[in-house]
A and B are shown apart, each in its own frame.
Chain A
């Protein structure tokens, strides 16, 4: 397979993330003294610098407002304007699921946009794509401030406004322009009727797509305007639009690592973290492109030409683009797709699953970095235990309370995936909804809960998931998997930041060395992946081995 697409995406992303990280620091955590900016920020988002519990409360209240507003808009879409194609009402459970999905930055979609949503509903979701991403960035900024030892962690609403106006808005405009030029529609007119050369009628759905797709990729939100997401030629019309979109998926997540290093004053530590995450990313892209190179197995015996698996793929992106995107979109919490994950070769399907099980390879904007902080504290704890010293992180002692919070977050993730997946596998709730029976069906169910718990949003879309049980179960998983992994690490960082700085000595375990990087990678693999090994063997591996 030609590695031009993955090469271009990763080199551009790493190169651009460094200056963007510098900009993020300026935008989100500015040094005091810029009078006109402070005046504007106070006017638009008044409030004082707060301690972490107040910050967390403000975050929850604003997210509740987001949820309430969008539930109302979605539930009333049939009576509201900007509905040129006359979309009808949505079921209550789908309204709940969709609103939760976009508020939590997951963008798991149990509906097909061009079939079921009015343009106003799409705009409401587009608003959430801005503010849910901004919520993640704000949370990371607050945690970095706490770890830097500041007494107050900032003002949530001001951080959210900064992330929206200074970071997401300009980047989205920068991306939307080339997407529109490449062919992504941007119109308020409804569907158009075409009569083909053979005289058949084809209804072509369109809409204000370019604006939606740009913020969907940057967020990294991932929820598409159309059902097939970035497979659809109107979301992703060309080779170039594909490279730009794929770059946008990972750019902000990478840059937020550098921002974390700058706010905590530990750039070398951030470099070590970046290297560990990049190694995971390269491994994922490498494995996915390799496992997707064999031909579609179902074509064996049909005298078909030999080449990479093409089921569920589009030709214009190039052969490596599908597996590259699958690896990148599940390393970050994006979840958009440019090929149908359900139709990936069985072993390739394991790559996005692993990405979401680990949920830290750059991760969501802000949130992935927060997950990594939890792994770091655990690694520092293990290292401390091995040499018989009280573990430290960023010069502060890691003790019982911090470890309880960290382990709580780490165990929550597998619990939110495996327990409901077991319930849905054992009952008709899940079994009656799979599209491909056997081990592939198991993977479909596990993937859906994994995607919900990782706040990712991609899916094995063969699953008939617009049912009351699926909507409610994955909705609850998304809520728990969003707010606990923000609030518990915030508490952990707040608790760490209050402690006295310990003087660095020769015996201090350094967090910017190769040893640290290897230990962190091992901790991530052992704690993050081992719990999922049995289900990986029963699902994708079993399907691969079956002949």
Chain B
């Protein structure tokens, strides 16, 4: 493969999470009754005019800035003209000459690989972002028997198209970029990133050529509706093109579709001549100039991005790579983690210890419960066990006030009760008994109940049978804890039992 070089550029369309559509006040929502979220404007009725949704501009600009693009001080829209039944005006309002943002970049782990490898210390590759531009989506056409139906609910919803330069070489790199972009827009709260539902759509351009010869003949691939298909489709296509060239053939410039059932790309249409979209400035919308208020609203929308956060969380809290990956999967989850650690510190715990304990809870018990209840990591805010409450549980264990076993009961209780963990512990009497007199009483009760075990333990100790002595002592510890109603602090009970056994052994 080193004989050849491959060039991949990606065009990713994301649906912005604006409440209303890009140019009218209709609800932008998916899954509703067909043609229920429509009005004369998004249906292209005679006489209507588009009115730009400022929130779409803001969200688009937030993404552009997060991808290190330069925001255009003045942008406008063009009409992109072509006839298609799902496009009400038969032109799309889009941006051509003045994209919202240009000349950005993102770093991905070199060679692709999963997001786990994006933690500190990994080599990175810079992908240039050509532009981000705002446009409106079309409706959906459904062919059913001998009729064609159109649902215009999606028509006019806000789309941001993010175009990269042809900087990827492998399917793995492209897959990694798409996953990272998906997490980025979710972190920014501007797109749900759902590829199956089409909220994030990816088209790819790919060409191969002899190394050093520049771009080859470009093929466009559509229908890459999961990040895995991005990798599989591109790797398949690179292999296909290389094989063609190896045989002395030419790659035909065309659009191909990824067939997920056959794991291959297939010709969709051959481009004999490029479409003439006859772009011209949209006369119904005045140019948009970014004023200071707009810029500050964009800056306010920027958050620490997944890649940076993983690096920081890894080094600041000393988590393992696997823990970092899970904790930073969603912004809300990472926020939860940091809030919990901060609260545990406030309760007197060491930061690193607190981080370790909180991470264990989050990657274990918390994840398990959320999976069970069908909650994603982003939904962590919906739990009654807030970060602060998880910190309280962790601190209760650390201070020896409850046992690990009680902690799990406490967690389960905190999941359903709107109450502070300390209050739950108090109300249920779950706090461990540490009073030496009560511990001693429990131990005496156990010894009285199991005299043969006690004498056996003393004899084993005196006789140097460490194994037997330990087994019998542990039995007595269990009995003593049982005698305390399960509340005696195990460490103290163990010490008390051992002291009594040693004393008895000495007396033998």
A, B bound: no
Q: Measuring CB to CB, which residues of chain B are less than 8 angstroms from any residue of chain A?
A: none
Q: Measuring CB to CB, which residues of chain A are less than 8 angstroms from any residue of chain B?
A: none
